[in-house]
Amino acid sequence: MFRNLGVTFGPTYEEKPWLYDPRSETGRKRLERMRELLRNVLPRLGGKALDVGCGMGVSTFALEELGFEVVGIDTQEELVKRANEIARELGYKAEFKVMDARNLDFPDGSFDLVAFLGNPLPHMSVYDFDSAVGEAFRVLKRGGVLVVEYADWVRLLHENYREVLVEEPFTSFHVRLDTLTGIAERLFVNFEKGYFFKVKINVWAPWIVEFVLRKAGFDVRTHYRGMFSVVTVGTKPDNV
């Protein structure tokens, strides 16, 4: 009998900790890829940066290696604790805090850059993201930059994510797409360990991200970095 773990993203992280650990070979490669991506899309480097959804620090350390003074935030206390430990171990200066992006504990105009990296949007509804972008606009300096890295889920669902996929150690199946709420459901099965669970993925596409950023007041430019990988960069005007 397979165990039903319910609706959760937990096992996708617990089974692959090396994917998010900047000390692992895979984590280091992700860090290097992210560093080069940022070098290519950001209009300028250096200054103070806020890394939203920092996890164990891969994106935060990429920003630091590009010359930023970085604060990483996440809602998961255990990840923040581990990120601080890894920073001390590896000699990074980044600071990590438990904080909700929808309610930032920073004064207006604190940062030159706010970053949402590593495809965090599937975890956020459009309402959550709208609040977070509004807060990002507030804490950015005039001329400051917001960068959002994400997957074009509309294209992804259209092309191949409706198929059965082997995503070691899981086999996953498309369950349904709710076009009213913009949520896709997917069933993940771990046949070796005998459990299954569902994930609910908020579906995003560039025009949705651009709308939210423009609504907040950003000047916007979007870059495709591959078939499904997208980076949208918003600049806070100098006259606000």
Contact, 179 vs 148, CB < 8 A?
no
* pLDDT for residue 160 is more than 70: no
Q: According to the model, what pLDDT value does residue 171 have? A: 94
Is position 124 within any domain?
A: yes
Q: What percent of the chain has pLDDT over 70?
A: 99
Q: Is residue 60 very low, low, confident or very high in pLDDT (cuts 50, 70, 90)? A: very high
Q: According to the model, what pLDDT value does residue 161 have? A: 64
What's the pLDDT tens digit per position in 179-214?
A: 899 999 999 999 999 999 999 999 999 999 999 999
For 105, the domain range is: 15-152+205-235
Is position 165 within any domain?
A: no
CATH number at residue 137: 3.40.50.150
Region 155-159 average pLDDT: 81
* Count: domains in the chain: 1
Q: Is residue 162 very low, low, confident or very high in pLDDT (cuts 50, 70, 90)? A: low
Is position 86 within any domain?
A: yes
Q: According to the model, what pLDDT value does residue 18 have? A: 85
Contact, 172 vs 188, CB < 8 A?
yes
Q: Note every long-range contact of 132-135, with CB atoms under 8 Å and residues 24 or more positions apart, other chains counting.
A: 132/52, 132/101, 132/102, 133/212, 133/213, 133/215, 133/216, 133/218, 133/234, 134/216, 135/101, 135/102, 135/103, 135/104
Q: According to the model, what pLDDT value does residue 13 have? A: 84
Is position 163 within any domain?
A: no
Q: Is residue 82 very low, low, confident or very high in pLDDT (cuts 50, 70, 90)? A: very high
Is position 230 within any domain?
A: yes
Is position 113 within any domain?
A: yes
Is position 69 within any domain?
A: yes
pTM of the full predicted structure? 0.93
Is position 196 within any domain?
A: no
CA distances from 218 to 71, 98, 112 (A): 22, 26, 14
